[in-house]
Chains A and B, each alone.
Chain A
Amino acid sequence: MVEYQTHAYDVLVIGAGGSGLSAAIKASADGARVGVITKSLLGKAHTVMAEGGVAAALANVDDRDNWRVHFSDTMRGGQYLNNWRMAELHAKEAPDRVRELEAWGAVFDRTPEGRILQRNFGGHRYPRLAHVGDRTGLEIIRTLQDHGIHQGMEVHMETTVLTLLLDGGRVAGAFGYDRERGRFLLFPAKAVVLSTGGIGRAFRVTSNSWEYTGDGHSLAYHAGAALLDMEFVQFHPTGMIWPPSVQGILVTEGIRGDGGVLRNREGRRFMFDDIPENYRSQTADDPEEGWRYTQGDKNARRPPELLTRDHVARCIVREIKAGRGSPHGGVFLDIAWIKEKVPNAEEYIKRKLPTMYQQFKQLADIDITKEPMEIGPTTHYVMGGVKVDAETQMSTVPGLFAAGECAAGLHGANRLGGNSLSDLLVFGRRAGLYAACFAKEHGDVRSDSGQVERAAREALMPFDRQQSGAENPYQIQHELQSMMQDEVGIVRNDQEMRKALEGIGKLRERAAKVGVYGNREFNNGWHTALDLQNLLTVSEAVARAALERKESRGAHFREDFPEKDPEAAKFNIVIRQGSDGEMQLERVPITEMPAELKQVIEEMK
């Protein structure tokens, strides 16, 4: 008989980044008894690392901006695979959510008129990102945290969920353990919100922390929910590449928004060499026009460095492959050059990009006010996730909601920078709202003790394999990351992905033999062993969906199918667990956009 503590809630929120806290705040405000589970300490979630800003058509800097422009920018960036209703809700509600943050104490940078300042970012037609220097994520998570702790929610820090509980067809809570002591915890709940973030730890080069092991994706999948768009993994164009120990750490797009340019080893601004047709009319003709755009000239068009992330990342890879890369296998990102244009450039850079200045100075001995940075693509974000209803964020399992990065739909084939922070505010709140409604309208749940016993027994199995010959969980994770990076990474083909699927199968067999030593108290080896199951599930989902999409679109690039296929623009790929336990893929047709939204897109062309 397994021992555990029980904490029952109306709404259980799993994950305490921006979307989880937004959901918890809203559900609490609506009267629900809310529990929040966080894998780390409160306030350390991935949101804290967001740098550039939160996209919202406040029109404080350029009064031509409005929800219609934001909507069409998001759809164009996502190559029209987005859930158009989510894109519409997002564009309409983001400004209110940003103002709400201000009402809760957030202090954004200001315009001369005393309003919230907005900056340029890739794929956004007008300056749209409310920001605080380059530490916007910290400002947002701290604001939500400091507001949230007074709302009555109970927070379970450093707690990991092993499985979602089901009662009939409906979600009934979760079962997990606290990392500190390794004790089991049962959380019966009438509604559950998944807000666990992404899957970046499935890859070797990533801007994501150890937490990002696809827990929400995997929990939902094993509870019978559908996953959507898993082939779309965003490789952010600018990650640090040197020295080796910092590889993957994010370099904000804000550098390019503030005038930074990309150059190859010959000093050429290679982004001018390839401008996609659907962005040509919005892109500067020459460097001079591009510079004027970054300085707020409303008659200028954006420089090609501010094209969407998928495209910029591919251009960088092209330069590196052609032998025109930087000494350590990247390209150069240069902001120091603006001293030709700005009188006290050094001060300007330090004020606009203080974190980046420190990060390069301390970790790479580079002074970004004086010399260019070496950068290359890094795994950053997954557009795919739990398939949800646009209005309510409920998954295909009743009572199970998802928001933020672990949900899918808003971003389609590629996410615009700044649309993640707004996503988690808008849809985090919606998930909290509708989860609280669901809890009110539905009765109590019963926990399945058989399921609890099984989950506990499986979780403890690695301790029974302390003998020599047991597999090392860190080693398996490392091998999976290298394989996914090399075979399901930024450039994909059929042969490599089939090899990867075979490799995942073998790693799964080895993961079943993983052993850990020591006891249950704060045992990182044990935690890594348990997270492996989630990583393997999401890796398989990414590889299978990527094999199925036989075209190149957005973040998904197939060298064996390098063009867009108009037929493939008509469906999303949905993944479910079949009755035989295997992964089932389905092409689900995209529903037609209503005439008024079509018209908005037409007007913005």
Chain B
Amino acid sequence: MASAMFRIWRGDPNGGKFQDYNTEVSEGMVVLDAVLKVQAEQAGDLAVRWNCKCGKCGSCSAEINGKPKLMCMTRLNSLPMEEPVTVEPMRTFPLIKDLVTDVAWNYRVKKTIKKFAPRKGDFADGSWKMGQKDVNRIQEFRKCIECYLCQDVCHVLRDHRKFDEFAGPRFFVHTAALELHPLDTQSRSEDLKDKHNVGYCNITKCCTNVCPEEIHITDNAIIPLKERVVDQYYDPLKMIVRKIFGT
């Protein structure tokens, strides 16, 4: 059996460093397999989050050779194994320990988004009539596994640290799923403009590029939301109307 070198971040909020671990690897292994093997055999207290091991739960997000990825879906044969594989935590969020970061901020942001509010039902049993073509669009958004890799890579959060003002790509996808839901009656445009500041996004598509679910975050979620805000608040005709009638 071949062996390979893994350069894994070990540390806590006070600091840390990369530590090298040599471990056996075999056909088909993913980065998470190697990390769990290191944990079981060499570093029992190595902190790592994981659950499903097949790209469905979004727990094992990390930066592998500097790229935000799910550890469970990154095959070793997709990496240059003659060099050490670096595995480090998502750098945008505060570190708890080793590969585990504090992502609680994301849960707080979600609570600030107005919840789903459906219109009245269509059928006698209170349920609704919706065609497949009506829901295709939001089913794309609902594939999101909340791995927060899009948040990790977003400049507004990673470099400009606008955690208090900006919701981030994940929550624009969430908002888009609600806004474009055929049954929803709520409007979230004002929040998008003032509270979640969709305008800060300068559509560099970094989020789209790292999404393991291949959601077209920028094109299908963020841009349509930006258009909604523009239509509602910055349409020149409407602005004139508002000026005249004061509404």
User: Within 8 Å CB of A48, what residues of B?
Assistant: 51-52, 56-57, 145
Q: Can you give 26 A-B contacts (C-beta < 8 A)?
A: A40-B51, A41-B59, A41-B103, A44-B51, A44-B52, A44-B58, A99-B126, A105-B184, A107-B138, A109-B132, A114-B129, A114-B131, A135-B143, A138-B143, A149-B110, A155-B107, A209-B57, A210-B51, A243-B28, A245-B29, A245-B33, A358-B55, A472-B44, A478-B40, A521-B47, A525-B39
Q: Does A139 contact B (CB under 8 A)?
A: yes
A210 and B49 CA atoms in complex are apart in Å by 10
- On whether the beta carbons of A107 and B139 are closer than 8 Å, the reply is yes
Q: Does B228 contact A (CB under 8 A)?
A: no
Given contacts A114-B131, A115-B129, A139-B142, contact A516 B44 (CB under 8 A): yes
Chain B positions near chain A (C-beta within 8 angstroms):
12, 26-30, 33, 39-41, 44-59, 73, 75, 96-98, 100, 102-104, 107, 110-111, 115-116, 118, 123, 125-132, 134-135, 138-139, 142-146, 174, 178, 181, 184
- On whether the beta carbons of A44 and B39 are closer than 8 Å, the reply is no
Interface size on A, residues (CB 8 A): 68
- On whether the beta carbons of A110 and B52 are closer than 8 Å, the reply is no
Whole-angstrom distance from the CB of B49 to the nearest CB of chain A?
7
CB interface residues, A 227-278, toward B, < 8 Å:
242-246, 249-250
Given contacts A109-B132, A146-B116, contact A359 B44 (CB under 8 A): no
A566 and B50 CA atoms in complex are apart in Å by 45
- On whether the beta carbons of A526 and B39 are closer than 8 Å, the reply is no
User: Within 8 Å CB of B73, what residues of A?
Assistant: 362-363
Q: Does A517 contact B (CB under 8 A)?
A: yes
User: Within 8 Å CB of A518, what residues of B?
Assistant: 44-45
Among B48, B54, B59, B103, the most chain A Cβ lie within 10 Å of the Cβ of: B54
- Give B12's nearest chain A residue, CB to CB: A521
User: Within 8 Å CB of B145, what residues of A?
Assistant: 48, 138
- On whether the beta carbons of B54 and A359 are closer than 8 Å, the reply is yes
Q: Does A326 contact B (CB under 8 A)?
A: no
- On whether the beta carbons of A110 and B46 are closer than 8 Å, the reply is no
- On whether the beta carbons of B56 and A105 are closer than 8 Å, the reply is no
A518 and B11 CA atoms in complex are apart in Å by 12
CB interface residues, A 512-528, toward B, < 8 Å:
516-519, 521-526, 528
- On whether the beta carbons of A521 and B96 are closer than 8 Å, the reply is yes
User: Within 8 Å CB of A117, what residues of B?
Assistant: 132
A134 and B123 CA atoms in complex are apart in Å by 27
User: Within 8 Å CB of B55, what residues of A?
Assistant: 355, 358-359, 362
User: Within 8 Å CB of B46, what residues of A?
Assistant: 524
Partner of A355, one of B12, B30, B56, B103: B56
Q: Does A53 contact B (CB under 8 A)?
A: no
- On whether the beta carbons of B98 and A522 are closer than 8 Å, the reply is yes
- On whether the beta carbons of A249 and B53 are closer than 8 Å, the reply is yes
